[in-house]
């Protein structure tokens, strides 16, 4: 059983689901919790995936408690049904859906496999609540699929069994094989200009940090006449409220509705650089060779920082402005490493997960 509920999970689990569905050794059950119903539906359409169960937990203004309780309450009957009780539950990453689904499976003594295991920022409140979610999921999980050797080392240091840790690469690289297209055209990208993708949505950045970044963006657009900023606004009402209050919208600061996965990957691939607090975009940009200013004080994607493609800049207005100015004035194109950077894998993560899952289940059964 594969369980997901948010857009990033759906993107990264889609190639895993497709690989499992092609493998006769597995019967695959797909569960969408509906934590981000609308945004997930867009992703599933791109990959041609239809969930077997949709828990539809989403409510307006939902809290972390409501998400957790909703998943526990509505997933339990699916896990205990004779028709759908799985041999293993696969969850992804660090969302509240992933944590609650892992906990629900644990309560039923069903083995848990954690895709994208072992990422650590070292600060349980950054990102919040994701850092604690992934630590707790790894403690609940029986099988760990770590994207990198660094992630594997984190798991070993915490005492997890090495024989059930598989280094696979990141499945987002697999996903981009389905989405990035040479023929892509977009009305948001402007020829002859420096196109920059901006995204912000993390809970710890709501309020002053987000406002500070947006003030820096306003200054940059005023100072650089060839700068075109594209900001797909997250559906969260708080994010939209702050953006509309502090970002000066214009023909060069485009406040647009959230991109589907196809548009997001292709716009990112064609941008000069990105400014984001998203973990997924950090990985996607590294794989595409697109420089990123990370709008956070910590990151669990240390490999990208070491490569020079990611730069931690925080959210202070002057720090963000100065970092972006350096990219804009110091031949930013030199920072691009080109496509195909394999820090997060070579697009074969999904098949490695399938094989590791099968081998682990055989060990458990024996």
How far is the first Cα of the chain from the last one, in angstroms, to the nearest whole number?
21
* pLDDT at residue 335 is higher than 60: no
Q: Are 120 and 160 in contact (CB under 8 A)?
A: no
Based on the fold, state whether residues 20 and 165 are members of the same structural domain: yes
Give the start-end residues of each E strand in 120-248: 143-146, 165-167, 194-199, 227-232
Based on the fold, state whether residues 267 and 297 are members of the same structural domain: yes
What's the mean pLDDT in 21-43? Answer: 93
Residue 181 forms part of a structural domain = no
Residue 186 forms part of a structural domain = no
Based on the fold, state whether residues 210 and 328 are members of the same structural domain: yes
Q: Are 238 and 320 in contact (CB under 8 A)?
A: no
- The 8-class DSSP code of residue 147 comes to S
Based on the fold, state whether residues 119 and 42 are members of the same structural domain: yes
What pTM did the predictor assign? 0.89
Q: Is 114 a catalytic residue?
A: no
Residue 263 forms part of a structural domain = yes
Q: Are 199 and 305 in contact (CB under 8 A)?
A: no
Rounded CA gap, 156 and 165, in Å?
Answer: 9
Residue 342 forms part of a structural domain = no
Based on the fold, state whether residues 149 and 276 are members of the same structural domain: no
Q: Is 94 a catalytic residue?
A: yes
> Which residue range(s) make up the domain with 146?
2-169+348-365
Give the H or E element holding residue 53: strand 53-54
What's the mean pLDDT in 219-227? Answer: 97
Which tens digits make up the pLDDT trace of 39-75? 899 899 999 999 999 999 988 888 999 999 999 999 9
Residue 138 forms part of a structural domain = yes
* pLDDT at residue 340 is higher than 50: no
Predicted pLDDT at 24: 96
* pLDDT at residue 337 is higher than 70: no
Based on the fold, state whether residues 125 and 205 are members of the same structural domain: no
* pLDDT at residue 334 is higher than 70: no
* pLDDT at residue 348 is higher than 60: yes
Q: Is 130 a catalytic residue?
A: yes
Parallel/antiparallel/unpaired status of strands 2-4 and 30-32: parallel
Residue 87 forms part of a structural domain = yes
Q: Are 135 and 144 in contact (CB under 8 A)?
A: no
Residue 9 forms part of a structural domain = yes
Predicted pLDDT at 366: 62
Based on the fold, state whether residues 6 and 155 are members of the same structural domain: yes
Q: Is 116 a catalytic residue?
A: yes
Based on the fold, state whether residues 288 and 211 are members of the same structural domain: yes
Which tens digits make up the pLDDT trace of 136-183? 999 999 999 999 999 999 999 999 988 999 999 999 999 999 999 999
Based on the fold, state whether residues 247 and 150 are members of the same structural domain: no
Q: Which of residues 274 and 62 earns the better pLDDT score?
A: 274
Based on the fold, state whether residues 159 and 15 are members of the same structural domain: yes
Choosing from 7, 74, 116, 317, the catalytic residue is: 116
Q: If we measure between CA atoms, which residue out of 118, 169, 160 comes closest to residue 142?
A: 160
Choosing from 120, 160, 202, 234, the catalytic residue is: 234
Domain with 224 in it: what CATH number? 3.40.50.2000
Residue 343 forms part of a structural domain = no
Q: How many domains does the chain have?
A: 2
Based on the fold, state whether residues 6 and 142 are members of the same structural domain: yes
Q: Are 264 and 232 in contact (CB under 8 A)?
A: yes
Based on the fold, state whether residues 313 and 202 are members of the same structural domain: yes
Predicted pLDDT at 336: 54
Task: Supply angle C-alpha 143, 149, 155, rounded to 5.
Answer: 45
Parallel/antiparallel/unpaired status of strands 53-54 and 89-92: unpaired
Q: Is 203 a catalytic residue?
A: yes
pLDDT band for 226, please (50, 70, 90 cuts): very high
* pLDDT at residue 115 is higher than 50: yes
Predicted pLDDT at 61: 84
Choosing from 201, 252, 265, 352, the catalytic residue is: 201
Which tens digits make up the pLDDT trace of 288-299? 999 999 999 999
Choosing from 7, 36, 92, 94, the catalytic residue is: 94
Q: Is 270 a catalytic residue?
A: no
Predicted pLDDT at 341: 65
pLDDT band for 38, please (50, 70, 90 cuts): confident
């Amino acid at each position: 059983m594969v369980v997901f509920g948010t857009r990033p999970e759906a993107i990264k689990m889609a190639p895993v689901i497709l690989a499992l569905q092609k493998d006769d050794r597995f019967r695959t059950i797909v569960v969408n919790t509906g934590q981000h119903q609308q945004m997930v539906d867009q992703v599933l359409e791109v990959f041609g995936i239809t969930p077997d169960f949709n828990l539809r937990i989403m409510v307006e203004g939902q809290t972390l408690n409501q998400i957790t309780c909703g998943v526990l309450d509505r997933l339990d009957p699916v896990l205990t049904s004779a028709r759908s009780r799985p041999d293993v539950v696969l969850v992804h990453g660090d969302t509240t859906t992933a944590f609650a689904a892992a906990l629900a499976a644990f309560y039923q003594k069903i083995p848990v496999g954690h895709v994208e295991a072992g990422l650590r920022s070292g600060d349980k409140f950054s990102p919040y609540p994701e850092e604690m979610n992934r630590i707790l999921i790894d403690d609940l999980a029986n099988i760990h699929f770590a994207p990198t050797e660094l992630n594997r080392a984190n798991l070993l240091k915490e005492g997890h069994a090495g024989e059930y840790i598989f280094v696979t690469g990141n499945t987002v690289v697999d996903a981009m094989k389905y989405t990035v297209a040479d023929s892509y055209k977009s009305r948001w990208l402007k020829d002859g200009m420096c196109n920059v993708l901006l995204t912000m949505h993390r809970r710890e950045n709501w309020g002053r940090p987000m406002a500070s970044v947006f003030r820096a963006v306003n200054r940059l657009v005023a100072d650089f006449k060839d700068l075109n900023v594209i900001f797909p606004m997250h559906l969260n009402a708080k994010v939209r409220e702050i953006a509309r209050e502090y970002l000066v919208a214009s023909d060069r600061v485009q406040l647009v509705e959230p991109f589907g996965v196809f548009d997001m990957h292709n716009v990112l691939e064609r941008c000069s650089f990105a400014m984001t607090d998203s973990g997924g975009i950090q990985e996607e940009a590294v794989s595409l060779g697109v420089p990123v200013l990370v709008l956070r004080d910590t990151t669990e994607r240390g490999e990208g920082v070491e490569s020079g493609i990611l730069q931690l800049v925080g959210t202070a207005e002057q720090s963000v402005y100065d970092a972006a100015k350096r990219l804009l004035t110091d031949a930013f194109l030199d920072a691009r490493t080109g496509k195909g950077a394999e820090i997060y894998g070579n697009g074969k993560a999904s098949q490695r997960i399938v094989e590791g899952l099968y081998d682990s289940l055989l060990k458990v059964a024996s």
